[in-house]
Amino acid sequence: MRFLKHLLAAVSIGLLAAGAQATPDNPQSGVDYRTLDKAQQTDSGKKVEVTEFFWYSCPHCHALEHDLVAWVKKQGDNIVFKRVPVAFRDSMVPQQKLYYTLEAMGKLDELHGKVFSTIHVQKQRTDTDAEIAEFAAKNGIDKQKFLEVYNSFGVQSKAKRAAQLMQAYQIDGVPLLAIDGRYLTSPSIVSQSIGNKPEPVLHAATLQVADWLVNKSKQGK
């Protein structure tokens, strides 16, 4: 048992060291992040807008969530943080509508993490309209009220707007962070620079690149 504890400690230290060595110190466009040819308009004023493009059923989005939440909290008033649920195909639209329904009902802070947990920890399907309505009911939301909002014009309009943002930001995978309407970075992008590393290392590298891009954007405001 003592040997196992020492072994696990050594592995943890090794991962931290690898993260320190792998994290980009001077991020480069086209390597650690991408720069959009056409910057998108943001409405965050003097603060830097950071938008996460994600999909609830994406295991990598679930893996990043804890680190991302901590990073956003650390940023404080430096940024305005937003999320955009993506749909690369029609079958993903119900989860888009789930996100915007929870937002409209004031339940997003309470249940956003529970959606991830239901899918990736409890291994319960939450893909169809019926499955999503059942999830809402199990978490204390009146099913009829939920469905009214879920099928409302407002929620459908936001889902269509999400599709437009995906196209404007040239989203080809998730999770992905957009900074100040012009820079994109992600664990996938960073891995092309630092190599195929464990996810905690890629997360640390991605968020350091995001730190650098936030500072860069802030200086330009």
Q: What is the pTM of this model?
A: 0.88
Q: How many domains does the chain have?
A: 1
Structure token pair of residue 196: 């195929």
Task: Note down the domain range covering 47.
Answer: 34-216
CA angle centred on 20, ends 15 and 21, rounded to 5°: 95
The answer as to whether 4 is a domain residue is no
Q: What is the pLDDT of residue 44?
A: 87
Q: Which CATH number belongs to the domain containing residue 94 in this structure?
A: 3.40.30.10
The answer as to whether 41 is a domain residue is yes
Q: What is the pLDDT of residue 23?
A: 59
Average pLDDT over residues 202-217: 97
Average pLDDT over residues 149-163: 98
pLDDT tens-place string over residues 129-151: 999 999 999 999 999 999 999 99
Q: What is the pLDDT of residue 209?
A: 97
The answer as to whether 22 is a domain residue is no
Pairing verdict, β 176-179 and 48-54? antiparallel
How many Å apart are CA 202 and CA 188, to the nearest integer?
8
The answer as to whether 2 is a domain residue is no
pLDDT tens-place string over residues 31-55: 999 999 999 999 988 899 999 999 9
How many Å apart are CA 67 and CA 90, to the nearest integer?
29
Phi then psi for 54, rounded to 5 degrees? -150, 170
How many Å apart are CA 178 and CA 82, to the nearest integer?
10
